[in-house]
């Protein structure tokens, strides 16, 4: 595994509507890692995710593979980041394949119905990776919530970006589909991509992530392995809970247990 950082941030600050919401965040993240970004409501998780992608004005600096984010054009940024926002809702009655093909827009594919062979192959790979091929010709608005979540993830994977940012991709899904989505993101990370996932599910974070980032009041207060970043002290100080801890089938289990 390479020790070369793919994404770095130095002294990142974000102010929105006159209110400081992100304070002096610095981090260095490597490819082939799944990073869970956790913290209480209002801690700054989504703000950090968007700032890393250049979707919000910020002070400080962000570098992608050694290049300053500020120096990259919007199209180049769109090629570097696959971004899955909260909700991932599609309101238009498009065919599933056409929705996935929207991921090729940063590469110049402006018409989902007229893809180059390279774009067609990228869309096919994304659809196969997320198991949406069986309903490729169906309207996305006719699908279940779990199916839509897979289509939204396929659109992001079709970008074939070196960094994937997913904001609460398991929200509102049943447990089976939550595990399924996290397994797919784990596979994406294992293929060489840096995956950053915002989640409130500390159990999923502990099980699937290589690294956990803990946010509190706009600050990065812990950064490390799940066992270290989700220590008893962090659980108490940041989340105001105690946790049950175990090791099952070679995986870490951390289960929020009681408020304190």
Q: What is the pLDDT of residue 89?
A: 66
Q: Encode pLDDT of 196-209 as tens digits.
A: 999 999 999 999 99
Higher-confidence residue of 93 and 104: namely 104
Query: What does the mean pLDDT of the chain come to?
Result: 93
Residue 119 φ/ψ, nearest 5 degrees: -65, -40
Beta bridge mates, 211: 35
Instruction: State the pLDDT confidence band at 144, using cuts at 50, 70 and 90.
Output: confident
- DSSP secondary-structure letter at 44? S
Q: Encode pLDDT of 236-259 as tens digits.
A: 999 999 999 998 988 889 999 999
Residue 79, H or E segment: helix 74-80
Instruction: State the pLDDT confidence band at 88, using cuts at 50, 70 and 90.
Output: low
Half-sphere exposure of 163 (CA within 13 A, CB side): 25
Segment 144-162 mean pLDDT: 91
Give the whole-angstrom CA distance, residue 31 versus residue 210.
Answer: 11
Statement: residue 49 has pLDDT above 80: yes
Statement: residue 164 has pLDDT above 50: yes
Statement: residue 189 has pLDDT above 60: yes
Segment 3-32 mean pLDDT: 95
Place of tokens 């968007």: 50
Q: Model pTM? A: 0.93
Return the closest-CA partner of residue 123 out of 147, 146, 111, 191: 111
Residues 6+ apart with CB under 8 A from 149: 88, 169, 170, 173, 177, 181
Instruction: State the pLDDT confidence band at 68, using cuts at 50, 70 and 90.
Output: very high
Q: What is the CATH number of domain 7-65+162-259?
A: 3.40.50.300
C-alpha distance from residue 113 to each of 94, 95, 97, 179, 218 (Å): 11, 10, 9, 32, 43
Residue 230 φ/ψ, nearest 5 degrees: -105, 45
pLDDT above 90: percentage of residues in the chain = 82
Q: What is the pLDDT of residue 1?
A: 45
Strands (DSSP E) found in 85-201: 163-167, 194-198
């Amino acid at each position: 595994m390479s020790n070369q950082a793919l994404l770095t941030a130095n002294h990142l600050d974000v102010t929105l509507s006159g209110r400081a919401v992100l304070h002096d965040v610095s981090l260095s993240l490597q490819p082939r890692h799944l990073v869970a970004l956790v913290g209480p409501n209002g801690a700054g998780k989504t703000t950090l995710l968007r700032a890393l992608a250049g979707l919000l004005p910020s002070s400080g600096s962000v570098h992608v593979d050694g290049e300053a984010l500020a120096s990259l054009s919007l199209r180049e940024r769109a090629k570097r980041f696959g971004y899955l926002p909260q909700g991932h809702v599609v309101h238009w009655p498009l065919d599933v394949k056409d929705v996935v093909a929207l991921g090729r827009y940063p590469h110049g594919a402006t018409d989902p119905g007229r893809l180059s062979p390279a774009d067609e192959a990228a869309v096919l790979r994304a659809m196969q990776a997320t198991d949406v091929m069986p309903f490729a010709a169906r309207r996305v608005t006719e699908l279940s919530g779990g199916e839509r979540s897979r289509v939204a993830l396929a659109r992001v994977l079709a970008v074939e970006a070196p960094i994937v940012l997913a904001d609460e991709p398991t929200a509102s899904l049943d447990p089976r589909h939550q595990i399924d989505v996290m397994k797919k993101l784990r596979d994406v990370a294992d293929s060489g991509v840096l995956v950053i996932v915002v989640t409130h599910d500390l159990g999923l974070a502990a099980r699937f992530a290589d690294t956990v980032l803990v946010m509190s009041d706009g600050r990065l207060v812990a950064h490390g392995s799940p066992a270290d970043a989700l220590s008893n002290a962090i659980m108490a100080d940041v989340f105001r809970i105690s946790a049950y801890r175990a090791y099952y089938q070679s995986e870490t289990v951390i289960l929020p247990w009681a408020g304190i």
